């Protein structure tokens, strides 16, 4: 098996080297690199999957916390007018939820900076599909962004991965003052501002929680000239590191429809991830179309009147104007066919469909880093 994987990856690398340049050359380089590193990463992925399952089991036994508001002080007397009373009431309570507005004196750290999957929650996030908006998405679709690396086939896996990292780890605050201003008339400061934000972007790609002062959301950040192309190249490298792997190859070769038990097991895994505050990355191949693969995020799921599970897909091939439709109507859908295989409305019948191999390892690292970040922000763990 090990020898077969080596031959397959080398064959893929040689094929890419002699077919084109840019994306293919990038992919070939990562294919050779992964040939050496992936055996060690495979052990790490196995351990991560085991650790993830342990965390999932722990979460399934824990009570689900509800939104809680803590009273601070009495409304001041002498208020005149409904607006004044309303404002006073708002200042009189704080939200005792993950990343909420309470202090450690008003709310226990176990609620504001919880262990496990609860750390992915934000006060404005009521359900996972709330992330599926244009404001929470890259300004460009798969293959766009104007980076230095020309896309010959698209960077879908990298697009899904980078989007997920920003959604989980980035904290945007348009009212906070950045170290350097992108809007400065001083060209020197503009250059420093680009370098400053590029460092922040690097943090996100490295799974580090990061604040973005002076920026409203991901859509705005990724649309800034100079940063758009920088993020696009990060997407390209993320694609190469994931697609040029043994899983990328094995999925690309899995052209036959999955058996019903395999499909049901896959759907169960995805549902549990969404229930645990995640939009997982999945990869799949079109039925009977070798190497015609794609990677997307699963936005949410719904159960129809017949009890059938429908996965709502956040497809990076879609034009940005269509993103909100996924949230509102689950316009891109994935279901289990009557024959047991998987059907995706955007691609029709599929062959192999899997959770991306990087999803669990990234999730575990992000949980740990978010917990540390929250503890420091809230003054917990001191």
- Kindly provide the b/e burial profile for residues 143-152, where b requires at least 16 CB atoms within 10 angstroms of the residue's own CB: bbbebebebb
Does the residue 64 lie in any domain?
A: no
Going from the first residue of the chain to its last (382 residues), give the mean pLDDT of each consecutive group of 10, the final group possibly shorter.
49 42 48 50 62 83 58 50 50 82 91 96 91 96 87 84 98 97 95 98 98 98 97 93 76 92 98 97 96 95 95 94 86 96 97 96 97 95 69
Residue 15 confidence (pLDDT): 43
Same domain, 211 and 314: no
Domain that holds residue 266: 247-363
For position 252, what pLDDT does the model report?
A: 83
Same domain for 308 and 270, yes or no, is yes
Taking the C-alpha atoms of residue 57 and residue 48, their distance in angstroms, rounded to an integer, is: 14
Say if CB 127 and CB 121 are below 8 A apart.
Answer: no
Among 111, 131, 151, where does a domain finish? Answer: 131
In this structure, is residue 274 part of a structural domain? Answer: yes
The verdict on residue 56 lying in a domain is no
Q: Which residues contact 203 (CB under 8 A, 6 or more apart)?
A: 169, 209, 210
The pTM (predicted TM-score) of the whole model is 0.84
Number of domains in the chain: 4
Do residues 353 and 277 share a domain?
Answer: yes
Q: Is residue 140 located within the same domain as residue 191?
A: yes
Identify whether 376 is part of a domain. no
Q: How far apart are the first and last CA of the chain?
A: 50
- 273 in any annotated domain: yes
DSSP states of 270-299: HHHHHHTT---EEEEEETT-TT-EEEEEEE
Residue where one domain finishes, among candidates 108, 131, 154? 131
Q: Where are the alpha helices (DSSP H) in 170-291?
A: 187-205, 218-221, 228-243, 246-253, 260-275
Same domain, 153 and 183: yes
Domain end position, chosen among 221, 238, 255: 238
- The two tokens of residue 6 are 């080596």
Cα-based distances in Å from 1 to 4, 197, 246: 5, 44, 11
Work out the angle at residue 354's Cα, subtended by the Cα atoms of residues 351 and 359, and round it to the nearest 5 degrees. 155
- Verify that 220 and 320 share a domain, yes or no: no
């Amino acid at each position: 098996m090990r020898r077969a994987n080596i031959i397959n990856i080398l064959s893929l690398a040689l094929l890419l080297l002699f077919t084109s340049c840019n994306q293919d050359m990038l992919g070939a380089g990562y294919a050779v690199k992964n040939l050496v590193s992936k055996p060690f990463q495979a052990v790490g992925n196995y351990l991560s999957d085991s650790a993830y399952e342990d965390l999932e089991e722990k979460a399934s036994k824990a009570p689900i916390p509800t939104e809680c508001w803590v009273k601070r002080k009495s409304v001041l007397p002498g208020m005149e007018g409904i607006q004044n009373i309303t404002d006073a009431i708002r200042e009189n309570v704080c939200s005792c939820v993950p990343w909420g507005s309470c202090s450690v004196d008003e709310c226990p750290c176990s609620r504001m900076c919880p262990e496990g999957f609860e750390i992915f929650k934000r006060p404005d996030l009521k359900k996972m599909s709330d992330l599926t908006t244009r404001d929470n998405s890259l300004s460009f679709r798969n293959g766009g962004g104007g980076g230095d690396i020309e896309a010959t086939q698209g960077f879908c896996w990298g697009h899904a991965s980078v989007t997920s990292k920003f959604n989980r780890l980035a904290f945007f605050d348009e009212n906070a003052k950045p170290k350097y201003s992108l809007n400065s008339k001083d060209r020197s400061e503009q250059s420093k501002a680009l370098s400053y934000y590029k460092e922040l972007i690097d943090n996100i790609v490295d799974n580090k929680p990061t604040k973005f002062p002076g920026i409203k959301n991901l859509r705005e950040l990724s649309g800034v000239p100079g940063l758009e192309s920088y993020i696009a190249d990060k997407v390209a490298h993320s694609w190469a590191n994931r697609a040029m792997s043994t899983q990328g190859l094995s999925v690309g070769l899995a052209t036959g429809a999955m058996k019903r038990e395999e499909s049901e097991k896959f759907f169960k895994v995805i549902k549990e991830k969404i229930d645990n505050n995640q939009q997982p990355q999945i990869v799949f191949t079109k039925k009977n179309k070798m190497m015609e693969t794609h990677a997307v995020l699963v936005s949410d799921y719904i159960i129809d009147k017949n009890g059938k599970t429908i996965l709502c897909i956040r497809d990076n091939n879609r034009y940005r104007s269509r993103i909100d439709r996924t949230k509102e109507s689950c316009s891109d859908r994935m279901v289990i066919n009557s024959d047991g295989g998987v059907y995706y409305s955007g691609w029709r019948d599929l062959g192999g469909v899997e959770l991306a191999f990087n999803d669990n390892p990234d999730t575990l690292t992000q949980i740990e880093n978010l917990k540390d970040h929250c503890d420091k922000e809230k003054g917990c763990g001191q």
